[in-house]
Amino acid sequence: MKKTSIFIALASLFFLASCSMFELDNYPAPAETLQGEVVDAATGEPVLTDQGSEGIRVRLIETSWGDNVTPNPDFFCRPDGTFQNTKVFKGRYNVQVDGPFIPLLREDERGVPIADETKDVDIEGVTQVRFEVHPFLKVEWVDEPRVINGKVQAKVRVSRAVSEEEFREKIEPMGGYSNSFQNVTDIQLFVSYSSTVGYRARDERWSNEILYTGSSFNGLLGQTVTIESNGTIPSGRIVFIRAAARINYDTPAGSGTRRWNYTDAKEVFVN
């Protein structure tokens, strides 16, 4: 009889614990939406990017419960510089974007903030946020691309979107400054069947790059540069192309990720 009573008591405790565990797992799923855009502070134009980890990274840190919190999973902008996350819990968040532009959050070597241009927002329902940033480079088409013997020939112009003086003024106080940070390291011509063409959506058979060492590109800033696709693209096909360029500076600082500034995408018929 005593054993039976003990069994019933243990079973009751297990049942109550199971109910409590069920209640903990029964919270509503995150359903708030954050929408945003990243634009050039000087022109208001969208900062074009790649749709992947080399593009503009968006980081949310919920501050509703205090300062020492773990960031939500990062996500990335669309190629047109906009972003959306429809699975956010209601609350107050710090929103930060990292991309091919002057960092919004800048700290010195001791981790002391020098500047903080991130956004603190209350996310409820559909919440919108706009970031005005200073891109490193401006990459432009000079003319319409031409197709010659199955190759796409494009002309682009790369210029600084932020002056060398302003770049140094913003970045040098962070420590470890090098004049090489502003060197343009490469121009890319990405080719793909996909309209979201970029580094993550490129066809390696046809995409091409021009590499530059040291400050060798400085004399070409603002000048027309011609870049041609690799291989031979089959005739009768439609492909999409984008040009991109980057400098020798990673964002966030120390991450090892050097992000490209992009042109818009162009559709090309290969005849």
The tens digit of pLDDT for each residue in 100-135 reads 999 999 999 999 999 999 999 999 999 999 999 999
Yes or no: say if 216 and 223 are a contact pair by the CB < 8 Å rule: no
Please determine, for residue 173, whether its predicted confidence score (pLDDT) is greater than 70: yes
77 and 200 assigned to the same domain: no
Q: Which residues contact 191 (CB under 8 A, 6 or more apart)?
A: 152, 197, 202, 203, 206, 207, 208, 229, 233, 239, 240, 241
Average pLDDT over residues 40-68: 90
Kindly tell me if the per-residue pLDDT of 67 is higher than 80. no
My answer on whether 151 and 179 are in the same domain is: yes
Has residue 7 been placed in a domain?
no
Per-residue pLDDT tens digits for 23-45: 455 667 888 999 999 999 999 99
Q: Is the pLDDT of residue 66 over 80?
A: no
Is 3 inside any structural domain?
A: no
Asked if 225 and 187 touch (Cβ cutoff 8 Å), the reply is yes
Query: What integer pLDDT is reported at residue 104 of this predicted model?
Result: 98
Kindly report the pTM of this predicted structure. Answer: 0.87
pLDDT of res. 22: 47
Closest CA to 160 of 211, 223, 103: 223
Q: Mean pLDDT over all residues of the chain?
A: 91
Spatial distance between the Cα atoms of 61 and 95, rounded to a whole number of angstroms: 7
76 and 150 fall within a common domain: no
Confidence at residue 68, expressed as pLDDT on a 0 to 100 scale? 61
d(CA 208, CA 227): 8
Q: Of residues 191 and 19, which shows the higher confidence score?
A: 191
Domain that holds residue 218: 137-270
Q: Is residue 1 part of a domain?
A: no
Q: Is the pLDDT of residue 5 over 60?
A: no
Per-residue pLDDT, averaged over 136-153, amounts to 97
What confidence tier does 65 reach under pLDDT thresholds 50, 70, 90?
confident
Q: Give the whole-angstrom CA distance, residue 184 versus residue 192.
A: 24
156 and 243 assigned to the same domain: yes
* Adjacent-strand bridge partners of 241: 191, 266
- pLDDT band, very low/low/confident/very high, at 13 (cuts 50, 70, 90): very low
Average pLDDT rounded to a whole number, residues 141-156: 97
Per-residue pLDDT tens for 179-234?
Answer: 999 999 999 999 999 999 999 999 999 999 999 999 999 999 999 999 999 999 99
**Amino acid 21: pLDDT:** 47
Query: Residue 167 pLDDT > 50, yes or no?
Result: yes
One domain for residues 128 and 141? no
The structural domain count of the chain equals 2
104 and 177 fall within a common domain: no
